[in-house]
């Protein structure tokens, strides 16, 4: 069964450093998403991406964040200058279409620890 | 905007018994309610969903109920097995098609 993959599984970085989290969505999917889950809190929507541009972004997704689809398979989330409060689990998801949000397939997540 | 509350945060159930997880939502316009199971080291996986024009849906040992008037929805797992141990998230789809998650319930199935 096809699945979304993410690398690395755990990333430790120092405050102020840039990080890039990588995702490989399911190959025939057209819509891509990033979510964040701070420890003990809810999974929160960050951004959606379609047709090589951001479709929607939440208020969390400020100028420190950017997303890119550098080639036909990868989808990345970059945090330019990490803060302690960026420590969280980051999930990538993809879906074939936009009409059924419940049919987004989630990756296993990258745990980001900012020290 | 939509807000989803989920209870309990942790639930321990003897193997073979039933488990019930309850959620409430705030926006009466929400019309689709997925449930996710997150196993260790994996992302949330959709296990069952229910639409607002349906009161109950069942899939083998898993059932979901929806009370639109009270804005409550619940997940019921019967005859629990060790592999049911996981974190379960309820969610509601907001007016702008966002997945609004509950905080999650960690379910432990005791031998």
Judged by a CB distance cut-off of 8 A, whether residue A88 touches chain B is no
d(CA B44, CA B35): 9
> What's the mean pLDDT in B49-74?
92
Please list every residue in chain A whose beta carbon sits closer than 8 Å to the beta carbon of residue B34.
Answer: 101-102
pLDDT at A80: 96
Q: pLDDT tens for residues B83-92?
A: 999 999 999 9
Q: What is the least distance, in Å, from the CA of B14 to any CA of chain A?
A: 25
| Residue A25 pLDDT exceeds 80 | yes
d(CA B92, CA B24): 9
Please list every residue in chain A whose beta carbon sits closer than 8 Å to the beta carbon of residue B89.
Answer: 43
Q: What is the least distance, in Å, from the CA of B101 to any CA of chain A?
A: 6
User: Residue A52: enclosing H or E segment and its boundaries?
Assistant: none
Judged by a CB distance cut-off of 8 A, whether residue B52 touches chain A is no
| Residue A98 pLDDT exceeds 90 | no
Structure tokens at B16: 């073979």
| Residue A1 pLDDT exceeds 80 | no
Strand order in the sheet with B56-59: B4-7, B19-25, B72-77, B62-67, B56-59
Instruction: Evaluate whether A52 touches A68 at the Cβ level (below 8 Å).
Output: no
Average pLDDT score over chain B? 93
**Least CB-CB distance to B44: which of A40, A41, A106?**
A106
Please identify among residues 37-66 of chain A the ones whose CB lies closer than 8 Å to any CB of chain B. Answer: 40-45, 56
| Residue A57 pLDDT exceeds 80 | yes
Number of neighbouring beta carbons within 10 Å of residue A83:
11
Q: Of A43, A59, A61, A93, which to mutate for an interface test with B (greatest number of B Cβ within 10 Å)? A: A43
Contacts of residue B58, defined as CB under 8 A and 6 or more positions apart, other chains included, come to: none
| pLDDT greater at residue A72 or residue A88 | A88
**Least CB-CB distance to A43: which of B41, B45, B89?**
B89
pLDDT at B50: 92
């Amino acid at each position: 069964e096809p699945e979304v993959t993410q690398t690395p599984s755990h990333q430790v970085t120092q405050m102020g450093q840039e990080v890039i989290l990588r995702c490989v969505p399911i190959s025939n999917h057209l819509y891509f998403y990033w979510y964040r889950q701070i420890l003990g809190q809810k999974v929160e929507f960050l951004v959606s991406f379609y047709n090589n541009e951001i479709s929607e972004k939440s208020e969390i997704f400020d100028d420190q964040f950017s997303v890119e689809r550098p080639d036909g398979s990868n989808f990345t989330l970059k945090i330019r200058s990490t803060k302690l409060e960026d420590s969280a689990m980051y999930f990538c998801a993809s879906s074939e279409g936009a009409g059924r949000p419940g049919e987004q397939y989630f990756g296993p997540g990258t745990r980001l620890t900012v020290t | 905007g939509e807000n989803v509350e989920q209870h309990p945060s942790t639930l321990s159930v003897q193997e073979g018994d039933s488990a019930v997880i309850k959620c409430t939502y705030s926006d009466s316009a929400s019309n689709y309610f997925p449930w996710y199971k997150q196993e260790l080291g994996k992302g949330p996986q959709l296990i069952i969903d229910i639409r607002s024009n349906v009161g109950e849906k069942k899939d083998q040992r898993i059932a979901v109920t929806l009370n639109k008037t009270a804005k409550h929805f619940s997940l019921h797992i019967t005859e629990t097995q060790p592999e049911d141990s996981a974190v379960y998230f309820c969610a509601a789809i907001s007016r702008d098609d966002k997945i609004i998650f509950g905080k999650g319930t960690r379910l432990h199935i005791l031998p």
